[in-house]
Structure 1
Amino acid sequence: MNYKSIKDPIEITYTVERSKFIGNIAKTNSVDEAQKFIKQISQMYNNATHNCWAYKVHEGGREIANYSDNNEPSGTAGKPIYGVIEKFGLLNVTIVVTRYFGGVKLGIRGLIDAYSKTAEDVVKASKVVTYEKVFIYEAKCDYSNFSFIQNLMQKQNNFKIIKQNFSDEVYFIFEVLEDNKEDVLSLIKNKVYKLNLVGNSEGTL
């Protein structure tokens, strides 16, 4: 399954009418991870006026989403934050926006705009990337064929060698995206005399 999420957890700050909004974002792969991240940020800023949040994850074969206004007026915080997740088409992500009230009421429209802007700014600061299923293989070949494989990797940029060991032969481990797997394997299968699938994960290569 390919999906868009953010690359790195990051924090940004936005100030409007003396209220300080702090946006935090993280890649979370389950409801449990999302809840732990929300708890972590809420504890970090436990003296804040509000810690509002939204998440969307893929778990158990379905998409699960939730959000909270954390005592802000209904619909002014959690839903706008979730709206940003939807706007960018993100999955497996959690955003927490912390507010320190600055003494000036922002009104319904002002709150919606402030929470939306903070959430959008933290998404943009983190960078959106596409995650794909990555297969990990181990292989052995001679030196001349390893040179061919290295040149192929540099030219096509659709697989990546993550470990290599040189002796009388070359042992190496490489990652390849699911969409590129058949093409890469067909190109190198006659160049190696050992090729085993050792696992899979997700990544961006």
Structure 2
Amino acid sequence: MSYYSIINEKETKLNIKRSEFITNIKKVKNEEAAKNYIKKISEKYKNATHNCWAYYVIEEIEKYNYSDNGEPSGTAGKPIFGQIEKYNLKNVAIVVTRYYGGIKLGVRGLIDAYSNSAENSIKNCDIVEMNNSIKLICETDYSKFNEIEKLLKREKGWKITEKNFTDKVEFQINIIENKSEEIINILKEKTNKIHENGFVEIALKMGDKNE
């Protein structure tokens, strides 16, 4: 299974008719993590007028929720969630904090303000495709490692996450499940030792062979 998400936590700010909107966005692994993040940001800005939020996560099933946190119904949480849907993001939580500046925005103005704040934050993040991957730990000599790197450049869907150079080369590589057969065949031919070390998530920017 693959999905789109972000890889960096980000805080952005917009000033709209004297109100300050502070948006925090983060990739989260499940609903509990999303709720904890919302609580953390809400406590950080506990003196704010409103802390409105939305999240969308994948567990056994997809789960989402949003809150206006005292703003008129439908003017904050739903517009924030709408931007998550617009960019097709999963496993993400967004909190938009508002400090009221003395000028009422009206229903349409609030919807636009919260929507624009969420979208501005998303646009300032790196959006990546997340994939289930197999984690392999490999050992080889230096000459073969150079060959491996050259061969892997022809393939997509992998990421070397660790390298250790001693009298040999030990490295860890994460491989997207549906690309594993071709890449594992290369590794088996060129490595002295290889073993599987479970499943992880791998983030690949679209069009990249690796990161």
TM range (shorter): over 0.9
Whole-Å separation in 1 of the counterparts to 2:147 and 2:201: 26
Aligned to 2:135: 136
Whole-Å separation in 1 of the counterparts to 2:106 and 2:81: 20
Instruction: Structure 1: state its 5+ residue gaps.
Output: none
Q: Deviations over 1:52-71 (max 9, x none)?
A: 00001011x10000000001
3-state DSSP of counterpart to 1:189 = helix
- Shift of the alpha carbon at 1:136? 1.4
Matched, 1:54 2:54: yes
Aligned to 1:174: 173
Whole-Å separation in 1 of the counterparts to 2:30 and 2:171: 32
Whole-Å separation in 2 of the counterparts to 1:58 and 1:139: 31
TM-score, normalised relative to structure 1: 0.92
Give the counterpart letter for 1:56 in structure 2: Y
Whole-Å separation in 2 of the counterparts to 1:26 and 1:75: 23
Aligned to 1:124: 123
Given the superposition, is the C-alpha separation of residues 170 and 103 from structure 1 closer, same or farther in structure 2, using an over 3 Å criterion? closer
- Shift of the alpha carbon at 1:142? 3.7
Give the counterpart letter for 2:31 in structure 1: V
Report if the CA contact (8 A) 1:5-1:93 is conserved. Answer: yes
Report if the CA contact (8 A) 2:152-2:183 is conserved. Answer: no
Give the counterpart letter for 2:42 in structure 1: S
- Shift of the alpha carbon at 1:20? 0.8
Which residues in structure 2 correspond to 1:25-104 (within 5 Å)?
25-59=25-59, 61-104=60-103
Whole-Å separation in 1 of the counterparts to 2:11 and 2:142: 46
Q: In terms of mean alpha carbon deviation, does 153-162 or 140-149 score higher?
A: 153-162
Aligned to 1:195: 194
Structure 1 stretches of 4+ with a deviation exceeding 6 A read none
- Shift of the alpha carbon at 1:190? 1.9
3-state DSSP of counterpart to 2:170 = strand
Instruction: Structure 2: state its 5+ residue gaps.
Output: 204-210
Matched, 1:109 2:111: no
- How much identity, in percent, do the aligned residues show? 46
Report if the CA contact (8 A) 2:4-2:88 is conserved. Answer: yes
- Shift of the alpha carbon at 1:8? 0.6
* RMSD (Å) for aligned C-alpha atoms: 1.6
- Shift of the alpha carbon at 1:29? 1.2
Report if the CA contact (8 A) 1:153-1:160 is conserved. Answer: no
Aligned to 2:12: 12
TM-score, normalised relative to structure 2: 0.90
Q: Deviations over 1:53-96 (max 9, x none)?
A: 0001011x100000000010000000000001110101000000
